[in-house]
Amino acid sequence: MSRLGYVRRRAPRGAGRRRAEQTIAAVVCESGPRLFSDPYYARLLVACEEALTAKGLPLMLMTATPATASLTAPRLVAGAVDGVLLIGARARHPLTVTLAASGIPVRCVGRPPDDVTLPFVDADNADGGRQVAEHLLLSGRRSIAVIAGPPTLPAARDRLEGFRRTLFDAGITSVPVAYGDFTRSSGAHAAQWLLQRVPNLDAIFVASDLMAAGAIHTLIRAGRKVPDDVAVIGFGDAPIAKSMSPTLTTVRQPVEEMATLAIKLLLAALTEENGPPADSVLPTELVVRESG
Q: Please report the beta strands in 31-105, taking only residues with DSSP state E, as ranges in sequence order.
A: 59-63, 83-87
DSSP string, 12-41: PGGGGS-GGG--EEEEESS-HHHHHH-HHH
Q: Which residue stretch of 56-64, 115-123, 152-160, 229-237 sits at the interface with a copy of itself (rule: CB under 8 A)? A: 56-64
Minimum CB distance to a copy of itself, residue 146 (Å): 29
Q: Which helix (H) or strand (E) holds 242?
A: helix 240-243
Q: Which residue stretch of 70-78, 130-138, 172-180, 279-287 sits at the interface with a copy of itself (rule: CB under 8 A)? A: 70-78
Q: Which helix (H) or strand (E) holds 44?
A: helix 39-54
Is 32 a binding residue for a copy of itself by CB under 8 A? The answer is yes
Length, in residues, of the chain: 292
Amino acid at 24: I
For residue 281, report the phi and psi dihedrals to the nearest 5 degrees.
-120, 115
Residues paired with residue 85 on neighbouring β-strands, in sequence order: 26, 107
Is 245 a binding residue for a copy of itself by CB under 8 A? The answer is no
Task: Residue 23: count other Cβ atoms within 10 Å of its Cβ.
Answer: 16
Distance from CA of residue 179 to its chain's centroid? 15
Q: Which residue stretch of 53-61, 124-132, 194-202, 259-267 sits at the interface with a copy of itself (rule: CB under 8 A)? A: 53-61
Q: Which residue stretch of 41-49, 112-120, 159-167, 253-261 sits at the interface with a copy of itself (rule: CB under 8 A)? A: 41-49
Is 60 a binding residue for a copy of itself by CB under 8 A? The answer is yes
Q: Which residue stretch of 59-67, 84-92, 242-250, 267-275 sits at the interface with a copy of itself (rule: CB under 8 A)? A: 59-67
Q: Which helix (H) or strand (E) holds 286?
A: strand 285-287
Is 56 a binding residue for a copy of itself by CB under 8 A? The answer is yes
* Binding letters toward a copy of itself, positions 76-115, x by CB under 8 A: --x-x-----------------------------------
Is 192 a binding residue for a copy of itself by CB under 8 A? The answer is no
Minimum CB distance to a copy of itself, residue 66 (Å): 13
Of 7, 10, 15, 33, which lies in the binding site for a copy of itself, with binding defined by CB under 8 A? 33
Q: Which alpha helices (DSSP H) does 106-225 contain, by range?
A: 125-138, 154-169, 184-197, 209-221
Q: Which helix (H) or strand (E) holds 49?
A: helix 39-54
Interface residues with a copy of itself (CB under 8 A) are 20-21, 23, 25, 32-33, 36-37, 41-42, 45-46, 49-50, 53, 56-64, 68, 71-72, 74-75, 78, 80
